[in-house]
Structure 1
């Protein structure tokens, strides 16, 4: 009887571990919008749709080394494969289209409306110059009763541009240093003032 209880406990533990492992995303890490690498990748969303975005520079793919896909900050110019994984299952049964525009509004790529039954849209786009671009996912969604231009998912892209340090971070550091200096000066001055009055 004791042996049976031990076997049941071991089986229950193994089943719970397998359930936990099933919830962990598979595959290599992916860059997030902030440039860090994690297992969840580059989620992009609006009020209507959510996708996992990835950009694979062709030069990196051809180098035969493991590739960590870029997120919205693409590291190099040139031919790049843009991939959008449609996370909304109902969108897979609807017609979708993808456009890629330059900052000036010039059309670089346009895919016609088609169903993405596998849930992935991929496009090879030649991002020739450093700068800002925009990928736009359109969905013909009769359920929303909203114009597809209004419900389009807009994904801002930067290509081969150095990332500037956020001004907010510099401001926080500056305030921290200022407050620290004020506290330090008060810690030195106040005891001296109190000593001078007591003498």
Structure 2
């Protein structure tokens, strides 16, 4: 599976900021987890919270990695200066996977919802994520990830999903979305992302 380089792309969204940690976890819950990573629902939550839309070309995102990306910032872009944005700036990125994503199961589409912040604490976010989900993580390409399905407000581990044969994997997806959460630290940006998998259209 290719690693979605949201964290690296996020670095292009702002200049250097002072090292004060933002608090992205609740925004991830509100905008990504509670909305099932639905793009329109996530954007509606961001707009209601006063976040600002920006043209996604500042992400310099390869279309093969993320199609139709959207970008919202938690601060007014007019506050950006040569000294960089406020240290507590956060961003919401949504989109769907391009051809470079290979999860080992044919006929699957992936949608992504992510919150990024400079100087976030990746270890703390991973601990809070595991506590919130209540399912164990798996290792994928050296990265901790949490794969699960939803049963109402409860989460059911699907740690073995990516080891299944295509037919069996698609049967699971036919009964509801598969989710994968991951924390991606890179340079001065930490991204907490929720990906959803469903049968392709």
TM (norm. structure 1) is: 0.25
Larger Rg: 1
More helix as a share of residues? 1
- Higher RCO structure, 1 or 2 (CA under 8 Å, sep 6+): 2
